[in-house]
Amino acid sequence: MKTPKHINMRLAGIFLMFIFSSCLSYSQADWSSVDFTDEYKGKFKISGGSAKRLKKYPLFVSDYAVSQATLMKGSETSATKGVFSEVSIEGLTQESYQQMVNQLYSELIKELESAGLTIDKGDRVLRSDYVQKRVSKDKDNEVIGSTGNSEPVADKKNVTEGTLPGYGAFAVIRDLTFRPQDKNVCYTTNIIKEGNFDMKVSSKSETNLLSINFMVSFANFDGGRGYKDVKLETEPALAIKADVKLITTNGSFNKVYYKKTVWGGKDWATNLSKVNDNNGAAQWLGLARSAGYVMNADNEKYISELQAILSAFQKDIVRGIKSEL
């Protein structure tokens, strides 16, 4: 006897809500007490010559950014079947996110000063002959000057890429990048020429450079293969990776990185809604099944959790640098 279609849909909905509610059982951690270097395998290696340069010459935070994933895609395939799931995030406001980034940047500067480093706001770099020549050439992939009140920058994967690189969840295909407002920056978006550009800016201006990019994703995809089918479950999961570059005036690129992804809580997620499913067409036409979801976030809880993580994370980064001086 076949089960009526509407009952199947109802059972699927109940199962989905069961999965989602089980994902919300995690409580928010006290991130200020977390040892990031120990728990997430932080590595710091600053040579003696670089340490001397950090003490002698000022440090400029040449780029500080928080990239927030906005669309993610997971997949699970077998030899004959495939399941794909896309999920976007809703409920966050750009205003509160921007305010968080501004506050985190101010905290970072204070931490660096407390570590005994002399901070330059970018004036020394921007007035150097080398950087002035770069400005006059007006290269599209070089960003030099004040961020002003600029809007966050939207990015999406290239046709030749599976996902945007650098994220811990490995499934991000679109994001928004926020930078602190009214702060000087000096960086290039050309990843091939990035190292040479940073090295020359640092050495020519006699200024050490520090750049930090936190990459934040919001979902996880749990796949599996059964006897007759493949499956894919979508669940809320706050994940953060940090890309840190420390370049000293002797042309040295110092080692500052964390091997493991930081995973946060899930209390910020309020609902997971399915917006489409091509199950019928997939079975009829022999295509891969796909489903789209919207992850709704409580803005205040999400920002609070993320700010607590990033604040503690960057304190650990500064402590790690200080320990090498």
Q: Note down pLDDT in tens along the chain; length 325 residues.
A: 444 544 444 444 434 444 443 333 334 578 999 999 999 999 999 999 999 999 999 999 999 999 999 988 876 555 445 556 788 889 999 999 999 999 999 999 999 999 999 999 999 999 999 999 989 887 778 899 999 998 899 887 765 566 788 888 778 888 999 999 999 999 998 888 888 999 999 999 999 999 999 999 988 876 544 444 444 467 888 999 999 999 999 989 999 999 999 999 899 999 888 777 656 554 555 545 556 778 899 999 999 999 999 999 999 999 999 999 8
Cβ-count burial 28-59 (b if 16+ within 10 Å, e if not): eeebeebebbeebebebebeeebbebbeebbb
What pLDDT, on a 0 to 100 scale, did the predictor assign at position 290? Answer: 58
Cβ neighbour number for residue 210 with a 10 Å cutoff: 25
The 10 Å Cβ neighbour count of residue 226 is: 8
Cα–Cα nearest to 52, from 324, 317, 318: 324
Model pTM score: 0.84
- The torsion of the CA quartet 23, 25, 31, 33, rounded to 10 degrees, works out to -140
Please tell me the predicted confidence (pLDDT) of residue 119: 97
What's 88's DSSP letter?
E
